[in-house]
Structure 1
Amino acid sequence: MPTIVVVGASRGIGYQFIQTMAAEGNTVIATARNVADLEGKVKADKIPNTHVVQVDLTSSNSLKAAATATSSLVNGIDHLLINGAYLSVSTGGMNPTDFTNKPELFLEELKKSDEANIAGPLFAINAFLPLLRAGKEKRVTYISSGVADVPETLETRIANSVPYSTSKAGGNIVLTKFAAELQDEGFTFLSIAPGAVATETLMDTSKFTEEEQAKMQVMFVRMMQKYPEWKGPISTEESVKRILNVVKNSKVQQSGQFLSYWGNTTQWL
């Protein structure tokens, strides 16, 4: 069975990935900043075939150490799945013009977003590349976001989450650059948007001010105008199921693409 490394597996979609992939019989290397907490959850939920390794996504040295630790467990990996990300709670509801008098806040949040969402994937891929080369499937999947898609942003008029959206778009191009460089080695690099998922980050509106909550509500209304059949955020189980379906059915000729969890570039919810 394949061996999968999940970078950013401590909660939400990442934790669902290890549950789903381990249940399928895969060997899973799950990474998190707090190893003890994740090991406790894995043990409590009786998730099989799973090893936990410490990682800080923003640290190249940490990721190299994680790859070294992984090499002591397996001879190669088939799939590197990068889920870890930074999403600012303080600026999630802010539009571009809201930063007019807050340039320092924008620069601070952009730096944090870029470190995790752009530099992090590059560091992770480079660290695990030798193990990927030793594997059979040679798959790398970056969990992106529909808010990083230009046509979707214009059609639904999603103006908020500027640092996050910008950095996720940057992460997409990092994957495309790897696809271009390693095209002759049989790799499949994909960026996939998971849809609107009912995670704690999205659903806990207490973290947002009333003004930010209002803007988030406007965003959801505009989404529903484009997708009238949409019933709201889906479960982590459903999102992961759809993402893995796209991954399993993808071809090496698609390497470098940015896709929705439906496997296309037009339907993001």
Structure 2
Amino acid sequence: MVSYAVIGASRGIGLEYVRQLAGRQNAVVFAIVRDAQGSTHLNAIVSGLKNVHIFEGDVTDYRSLEVRTFNMPTAPAFILSRASMSAQRAAKQVRDVTGGTLDYLIHVAGRTDPETLYQALDDYSWVLTKTCHSPSMDALDEDCITAYKINTLGVIHGISAFLPLLRAGPTKNIVVLGSPAGDFRLTRAASIGDMAVYSVSKAGGLVAAMKYAVKLKSEGFCVVLLSPGLVDTTGTIPGELGAATGKALLDKWVAENSHGGPVAPCADPEESVRDQLKVIDSLKTSDNGRFLTYTGDDYVMP
């Protein structure tokens, strides 16, 4: 059996990873989400599957990745109430299923706040959001810290939590979904002055992944960044308002990525993940440290 842990599996690309991987006869999949009961799309697709296990963990809280899990031996795919969930470590739960190893860690979890996504660094003195109540630099600080905890520190937490199992496995593959928005060269070349906090926090995630690639190279690991390209994940955003807001952001994102030329292509999750899995399936130790696109090529700044 080939084991996969997908961090950020409740919707969008992560959800599609679980769906496609679960269809492989020789795969066991660990879907890691912040709120198992609230992950309605995930619960629907894994219902009745024998090879999917749902873990509850938050990348901003390292202890939750280690400790809070869901386990129901009598059912193949499951969630439990918080009152009855197991208090055993996530690593122990994975070990019980796989014998102590993990082959692939796929880190998808990330933060894109629709209310502040297109703000520049000097726009925050005018921004009022649900979480940033003061029209001052305090709003910028709060948005930066929240984004950093998820998009940068979250990568570190995710890898660190499963590193012992990855070390014990024969494959040792870590895939972190990365965004070219974190590349300062793209900011300069395309004159992108907004998307400031998102870009800064994603840049931190890129560097964190590369630090692991360098550190773990001598152990035979393959740690790569993978850009999924432009993907329409609005179909699994909760609520009609959320989906509408997501679609508006996607349209703006597509327009900006077109740079005044033809409209940039936008894939659906099924198509994007299918291409990404082709890349992941072909990874070799010599690929360690690469920033790949969903086509398998090295990322090159447009």
TM range (shorter): 0.7 to 0.9
Judging by fraction of residues, say which structure has more helix.
1
Residue 280 of structure 2 is matched in structure 1 by 247
Counterpart among 216, 224, 240 of residue 190 in structure 1: 224
Q: Radius of gyration: which is bigger?
A: 2
Which residue of 2 is the match for residue 42 of structure 1?
Answer: 45
Show the counterpart of 1:127: 161
**Matching of residue 164 in structure 1 with residue 188 in structure 2:** no
What is the CA distance between 1:116 and its match in structure 2?
0.9
Flag as ranges the 4+ runs of structure 1 deviating above 6 A. none
Aligned partner (choices 267, 270, 273) of residue 237 of structure 1: 270
> 1:155 aligned to 2:189?
yes
The alpha-carbon distance between structure 1 residues 74 and 19, as it changes in their structure 2 partners (threshold 3 A), is same
- One-letter amino acid of the structure 2 residue matched with residue 223 of structure 1: N
Gaps of 5+ in 1: none
Relative to structure 1, the CA distance from residue 89 to residue 218 in structure 2 (aligned partners, 3 Å threshold; closer, same or farther) is closer
Residues 1:77 and 2:102 aligned together: yes
Deviation per residue, 1:135-180 (Å, 9 max, x gap):
1210011112121123333333333221111111111111111111
Distance in 2 (alpha carbons) for counterparts of 1:130 and 1:104: 38
Shift of 1:246: 2.0
- The total of aligned residue pairs comes to 260
Distance 1:154 1:220, change over 3 A: farther
Query: 1:48 & 1:154 partners in 2: Cα distance?
Result: 48
Other-structure match for 2:178:
144
2:29 alignment partner, SS class: strand
Q: Secondary structure at the match of 2:37?
A: helix
TM-score w.r.t. structure 2 length? 0.78
2:121–2:197 CA contact under 8 A, matched in 1: no
Larger mean Cα displacement after TM superposition, 174-183 or 254-263: 254-263
Gaps of 5+ in 2: 68-89, 127-135
Residue in 1 that maps onto 2:31? 30
Residue 92 of structure 1 is matched in structure 2 by 117
Instruction: Give the whole-Å Cα distance in 1 for the aligned partners of 2:124 and 2:242.
Output: 23
- TM-score, normalised with respect to structure 1: 0.86
Give yes or no for contact 1:192–1:259 (8 Å, CA) kept in 2: yes
Query: Whose RCO is larger (CA < 8 A, sep 6+)?
Result: 1
